[in-house]
Amino acid sequence: MASENENEISGAPAHPRPPRPSTITIGNHKLKPSTLMMGYGFDPELSEGSLKPPIFLTSTFVFESAAAGKRFFEGVTGRRPGGAEGLIYSRFNGPNQEILEDRLSVWEEADDALAFSSGMSAIATLLLTFVRPGDVIVHTGPLYAATETLIAKILGQFGVSWLDFPSGASREEIDAVVASAKAKGRVALIYLESPANPTNQLVDVEAVRAARDAAFGESERPPIAIDNTFLGPLWAKPLAHGADLSVYSLTKYAGGHSDLVAGGLVGKQKLIDQVRTMRNTIGTICDPNTAWMLLRSLETLELRMSKAGENAAQVCAFLREHPKVEKVGYLGFLEDGSRQADIYRRHCTGAGSTFSLYLKGGEKEAFAFLDALQIAHLAVSLGGTETLASAPAAMTHLSVPDDRKALLGITPNLVRISIGVEDADDLIADFANALQAV
Ligand SMILES: Cc1ncc(COP(=O)(O)O)c(C=O)c1O
């Protein structure tokens, strides 16, 4: 039917209404994240009834009027509180990334979330937001190698220093390091990684929070950020235990198919808004296609992680009893009554699917095992549908000095394994066969 105004296409208003709020409860029943991943934050009516969000490949967005454009800019630049009321430019945000951010927030019941082009760009943007020359960063050790490089070598060039405490540290040890850091300069950030890569040591987030709150007055408290890549968002939710921000390499379990690189940050509104301003400036947002792939991935996150976790429990039980195996560093095997077991009980709901296998012998035995695998792939990374195995001492941690490697237990006989969603018996057959080659 022809429109009264010949310049209008019937039924397609140029500037539709805002998206309808998604259903999050039915009566008193609160919907679970695995249900919300199917549709939360997306209103099909705004996209021709499309069940799935289209990929919005555009670099910029058309304003309804000059006044609307001004209002959006007032929001995005902070002149008006509450953030941008609409989309402006794709370095700032886009529909796919916004839906992704809404869904990322769901898992940890965070105020808000931000999507990034990689885990490292999320971490770099976070650090750049809070750290100034002369500041001190307190962090757990060890950290993912690139994070350590970023803090020590790159921020070090700008007069930033750091102090660390071991991942499994007690409240007293944390207090002592925080006190030394305070004596050194303004503490800008407390940065944690749990479990640590590759030692698998868990951080007591509640103790860190108590130490931070005891050492700093409310107005000077540094945010607590934590890398939750290994157990999040299913098996660990550190925001519930006192962290302010939880950062993710979405490349791993969230993406889950080893086919994308992305990062995420979830947490307190005020802090997320500060990081968003930095992200808008430097352009570390992920692209719409990657955001769309992540939406696809999040639909099966709980399924995939649960199956990988069950597989890992079976595989680890087999490996632990094998005569050629010295030790299996798996969170499901923490010693009853130990401090790590206590942290695990308070902070985690599952042992994950990434663990350390120490073979009897050295590099020769580790390589023989890796070269004989037929289902598991010899590759670095983790959290994908397929099982991966690698030798950290010879690969990811090759450049770490030998004495530090020894301190962290990164020995030549260590094989890191990330279990996928294959059949558990097939994986056990693969590992049994590879162990025969050792
Ligand atoms: C714990 C942890 N944090 C951060 C990263 C960096 O993530 P990305 O490779 O997505 O930049 C990784 C990557 O392996 C990681 O394992």
Q: Which numbered atom of ligand 1 lies nearest the CA of 120?
A: 11
Q: Which residues pair with 327 in a beta bridge?
A: 358
In terms of DSSP bridges, do strands 354-359 and 25-26 run parallel, antiparallel, or are they unpaired?
unpaired
Q: Which residues pair with 29 in a beta bridge?
A: 26
CB 264 within 8 Å of CB 248: yes
CB 87 within 8 Å of CB 73: no
CB 178 within 8 Å of CB 211: yes
Centre of ligand 1 from the C-alpha of residue 199, in Å: 15
Centre of ligand 1 from the C-alpha of residue 17, in Å: 38
Output the pLDDT for position 15. 54
Omega before 222 within 30 of 0, i.e. cis = no
Output the pLDDT for position 199. 83
Model pTM score: 0.95
**Which residue from 251, 290, 390 has its CB within 8 A of the most atoms of ligand 1, so it is best to mutate?**
251
Centre of ligand 1 from the C-alpha of residue 424, in Å: 26
Please tell me the distance from the alpha carbon of residue 54 to that of residue 48, in angstroms, as a whole number. Answer: 10
- Conformation bin of residue 61: beta by default, left when phi > 0, alpha when psi is -120 to 50: beta
Give the number of residues written for the chain. 438
Q: Which numbered atom of ligand 1 lies nearest the CA of 396?
A: 14
- For the segment 201-213, what is each residue's pLDDT rounded down to a tens digit? 999 999 999 999 9
In terms of DSSP bridges, do strands 25-26 and 29-30 run parallel, antiparallel, or are they unpaired?
antiparallel
**Which residue from 123, 126, 140, 144 has its CB within 8 A of the most atoms of ligand 1, so it is best to mutate?**
144
Q: Which numbered atom of ligand 1 lies nearest the CA of 143?
A: 1
Pocket of ligand 1 (CB under 6 A): 118-120, 144, 193, 197, 227, 229, 249, 251, 261, 263
Output the pLDDT for position 280. 96
- Residues of the chain short of pLDDT 70, as ranges, are 1-16
Output the pLDDT for position 252. 98
